[in-house]
Chain A
């Protein structure tokens, strides 16, 4: 759930835009460098952005019978790395605002900070930590997807609490309110997104092993040397 257009006070909208800007500019520089050195990767980067947009259109089954949509930030962080996701995530948010009326233009900075910066970085950090602790690819992916989803919504709750502190209990009360409301939907959704990630990568390790090796997520299988058996 992105913050709707006009919901944040002007100063907060500007502040979050300034906070997100360095990460998005860093991502833009990474993309410009990549396109300059390897023009053939322009289309792959575009495909990555389109996949992130489309992933949010997949309906996840839920216990209550209704359906929810994954954020896709975990997938982007693991597959394409956080700097590139900072830019691609912002482009996806712009498209979601203008094609689905989901999010907004003045809230683009705040949404980008949560969805394209904090979510991917937290998810990627959790992925690297799990792998460094000896976890396999699939446990790493599960943790990355869950953490990226929760970090995105935790940030959104902080943004809303800062903008609308509680009349009596101030920032702490407002944070408790927003976290409480979002937790009802977000904790099951984060676990669901983690499961989707595991199912996704289980298929990819079989069907798209060369692509995962090229992205550095799997070690290449050593080719048997001709005549070694003799």
Chain B
């Protein structure tokens, strides 16, 4: 377990062995549909397909999926409500408040569900090589890869230090809690530097960075593309688009 529920779900997903490119095409297609099609029925169809695929064939735990939607929901509650309140001559509802709020929430929830389908079925380690194919410089992808690998180490340090601080009454009062938070941030930063320096020394001893070929080179895992999956994705997306246009 890595400590991030979405990442854990991605590694354990039944779609883990599917080609990242195939999943990326399907999910980005759903994201675009959620963004450009009318909320009714486009967003409803996108959300139903994304949630259905995640909880069905991809076997993502419903609890993980549900908990992950909390962040967008918190933003939506504040953002959608604020955008449909009118402040012209006192507080009141905008003329088309219900329709606007429904449309905003629909687009955002459907889009978030589509992004979550990708996030809960594809680990970042599979997605980063795809960035290379999008012509992102190798050095940038490499730094992003180090960020991904180090953040779990640092999250674990954060949790351990906080637990130790709490056990020593470090969060017993407001004043102590502030002091402990500052110490926690400093400890995590110095640990990240220390980790990076020690990893660098270890890699330098193995010849990293000394020749013309730089970079943390690893054997890529080959996950073949499925024509059936791509065909089903294309048909499904075409179905969503045509149903939305027919109803709208």
Assembly CA distance A222 to B35 (angstroms): 59
Which B residues lie within 8 Å of A168 (CB)? 86-89
Q: Is the interface of A mostly helix, strand, loop or mixed?
A: helix
Q: Which residue of A lies closest to B28 (CB)?
A: A105
Comparing A6-14, A115-123, A125-133, the segment that makes contact with chain B is A6-14
> Is the Cβ of A160 less than 8 Å from the Cβ of B75?
no
- With A1-B75, A87-B140, A203-B182 known as contacts, the answer to whether A173 contacts B87 (CB < 8 A) is yes
| Interface size of A as a range | 35 or more
- With A6-B34, A31-B139, A42-B139 known as contacts, the answer to whether A181 contacts B115 (CB < 8 A) is no
Q: Mark A152-174, 1 if CB is under 8 A from B, else 0.
A: 00000000100110111100011
A187 at the interface (CB under 8 A from B): no
B79 at the interface (CB under 8 A from A): yes
Q: Is the interface of B mostly helix, strand, loop or mixed?
A: helix
Chain A stretch 23-71: residues in CB contact (< 8 A) with chain B: 28, 31-32, 35-36, 39-40, 42-51, 53-55, 57-61, 63
A109 at the interface (CB under 8 A from B): no
Assembly CA distance A160 to B83 (angstroms): 8
Which B residues lie within 8 Å of A36 (CB)? 139, 214
Comparing B55-63, B183-191, B237-245, the segment that makes contact with chain A is B183-191
A18 at the interface (CB under 8 A from B): no
Q: Closest CB-CB distance, A80 to chain B, in whole Å?
A: 11
B169 at the interface (CB under 8 A from A): no
Q: Closest CB-CB distance, B207 to chain A, in whole Å?
A: 11
B51 at the interface (CB under 8 A from A): no
Which B residues lie within 8 Å of A163 (CB)? 83
A91 at the interface (CB under 8 A from B): yes
> Is the Cβ of A3 less than 8 Å from the Cβ of B75?
yes
> Is the Cβ of B143 less than 8 Å from the Cβ of A91?
yes
B199 at the interface (CB under 8 A from A): yes
Partner of A58, one of B107, B181, B192: B181
Q: Closest CB-CB distance, A218 to chain B, in whole Å?
A: 15
Which A residues lie within 8 Å of B145 (CB)? 46
Comparing B12-20, B149-157, B225-233, the segment that makes contact with chain A is B149-157
> Is the Cβ of A101 less than 8 Å from the Cβ of B119?
yes
Q: Mark A96-107, 1 if CB is under 8 A from B, else 0.
A: 011111101110
> Is the Cβ of B85 less than 8 Å from the Cβ of A177?
yes
Which A residues lie within 8 Å of B214 (CB)? 35-36, 39
> Is the Cβ of B185 less than 8 Å from the Cβ of A55?
yes
Chain B stretch 72-119: residues in CB contact (< 8 A) with chain A: 72, 74-76, 78-79, 82-83, 85-89, 94-95, 104, 107-112, 114-116, 118-119
Which B residues lie within 8 Å of A199 (CB)? 178-179, 181-183, 185-186
> Is the Cβ of A177 less than 8 Å from the Cβ of B182?
no
Chain B stretch 140-199: residues in CB contact (< 8 A) with chain A: 140, 142-151, 153-155, 158, 171, 174, 177-179, 181-190, 192-193, 195-197, 199
Which chain B residues have a beta carbon within 8 Å of chain A's beta carbons? 4, 6-7, 28, 31, 34-36, 43, 68-72, 74-76, 78-79, 82-83, 85-89, 94-95, 104, 107-112, 114-116, 118-119, 124, 127, 136-137, 139-140, 142-151, 153-155, 158, 171, 174, 177-179, 181-190, 192-193, 195-197, 199-200, 203-204, 208-209, 214, 216
Known: A6-B34, A49-B143, A168-B87. 4 other contacts (CB 8 A): A50-B154, A199-B178, A203-B186, A204-B186
